[in-house]
Amino acid sequence: MKIIRIIIQIIILYVFSFIGEYIHQVSHLPVPGSIIGLLLLFILLLCKVIPVKIIEDGSSFLLAFLPLLFIPAITGIMKYPSLFSLNGAILFFIIIASTILTMVVAGFASQFLEQKANRRKEEKACNKQSSQSL
């Protein structure tokens, strides 16, 4: 009986996804249909039009298998063999270089801001000590 309830609740979640896709196709919004369906479900849950109990078991079941749902996105790269050619290798090194550059710049910026904050603290402490000694 619980399995049937979970299946029905997953079907309800899919219905919201399909409604979102329909709204996306009709309105040509720059937001994916699945996100529109998710927002619609969220709003209906907030307004208590749909009780959480209706989708609770189905969503818990899907969340338990969430890591497995990301595998198709990773294997989807196989559709693009050009990523494994010379252009793909260049793209890979550009991504790695830009990541390293971003990390280095962020590190230097955070160290600079921390040193600046420490100087301010020291100046305040010095000013406080000098005003107390007067």
Using one digit for the tens of pLDDT, what is the confidence trace for 100-131? Answer: 999 999 999 999 999 999 998 888 888 877 77
pLDDT at 134: 60
Is 21 in contact with 33 (CB distance < 8 Å)?
A: yes
Give dist(CA 87, CA 93) in Å, integer: 10
Mean pLDDT of the chain: 87
93 burial level (CB within 10 Å; 0-12, 13-18, 19+):
exposed
Whether pTM exceeds 0.85: no
